[in-house]
Structure 1
């Protein structure tokens, strides 16, 4: 598993609420998008249901055996139940939240996840991610970039993924710790837990 952590220098924060206090409205709407529909999961399967959740929240998915990223919610492919298995998730600037992570429980083929500028991703999300048995078996690469609510506590929680993967892959977790990200003693502990480690200076 490749864990890439970074914080881009000079990145400005998200804009404040606009006229009429729109920010709370969008927060409410994003929470609605993240509500888990367990009946839907049973009806169409975990991969289809998770695809709908991710695209509804602005993320992209790529299916096993396919090169193209699926970006259009209305263009989600149809076919026999279980035909399309999610292999990659790009959640850049998406509104996915902790409350929607139950959609990830049934995914068995996810190899890479990218969190970039995700304002709702925080330490508890990474803790939850590290406790999903299927991801412990399948996840190889994880990017966490410019997610301002993630601290060392969340990064340290990912050691659960590394311990499991170390028993499954001949080349277990590899961590790239970018020098332009926030660094502290706790972060060093997290890096040490994800071995072998490849330090990258750029």
Structure 2
């Protein structure tokens, strides 16, 4: 089942079939009951995996790229009984079909430090805003590239992330004024935050 979903997801991500938009929406649906059952951290991890990305928890174990790994790694660590709760630490969405509506899964996370969005063709500006509203205080590093729908209006919300140490932005065709975007970020982010932005990757 996971392999079949993976093939469908890849087709959608690479070819952007308009008629299959409803499948993308389904991948990004927020299941409140599921969150109550397993917690926000694992629910967010499931969302990212469903959309084709990878995740990492704060337990020191390797990056997770499929549901079987997720089930094994989070077994007995749901925060119930006397087991130690693990927290989602890293989200890497590379050529993943994440959307703004899916970014609602960031709600309830408290220790997410590292987020990467690369080649996410369906990610809209509001997704960045929603992410920042929910995990902006914990984020340390953000990389965004080749996301064709994102503009400086969405990316400027990164300036609200007061704990960022690194922001890397490139290959974003709808950003028309890079100088203004970088100026806004530099004026709002910590002085020691590394900020890099350019139209194409160097």
TM-score normalized by the length of structure 2: 0.75
Mapped pair 1:122 → 2:119: no
Work out the CA distance in 2 between the residues paired with 1:187 and 1:195.
15
What's 2:76 paired with?
79
Moved more, 186-195 or 172-181: 172-181
Higher relative contact order (CA 8 A, sep 6+): 1
How many residues matched?
A: 174
TM-score normalised by length of structure 1:
0.75
Assess, with a 3 A threshold, how the Cα gap between structure 1 residues 74 and 192 changes in structure 2: closer, same or farther. same
Which structure has the highest helix share of the two?
2
Structure 2 equivalent of residue 159 of structure 1 = 159
Q: 1:87 to 1:72 in 2, by over 3 A?
A: same
How much has 1:176 moved relative to structure 2? 4.9
Give the CA RMSD over aligned residues: 2.6
Please say if 1:68 is aligned against 2:62. Answer: yes
Shift of 1:80: 3.2
Instruction: Find the residue that maps to 1:71 and give its secondary structure.
Output: coil
Tell me, in whole angstroms, the C-alpha distance in 2 between the residues paired with 1:64 and 1:89: 12
Matched position secondary structure for 1:28: helix
| Per-residue deviation, residues 117-144 of structure 1 (Å, max 9, x unmatched) | 0011121111112211xx2331100000
Q: Distance in 1 between matches of 2:107 and 2:123?
A: 17
Structure 2 runs not aligned, ≥5 long:
1-12, 80-84
For the structure 1 residues 187 and 73, does the alpha-carbon distance in structure 2 shift closer, same or farther, using more than 3 Å as the test?
same
Unaligned runs of 5+ in 1: 1-13, 18-22, 166-171
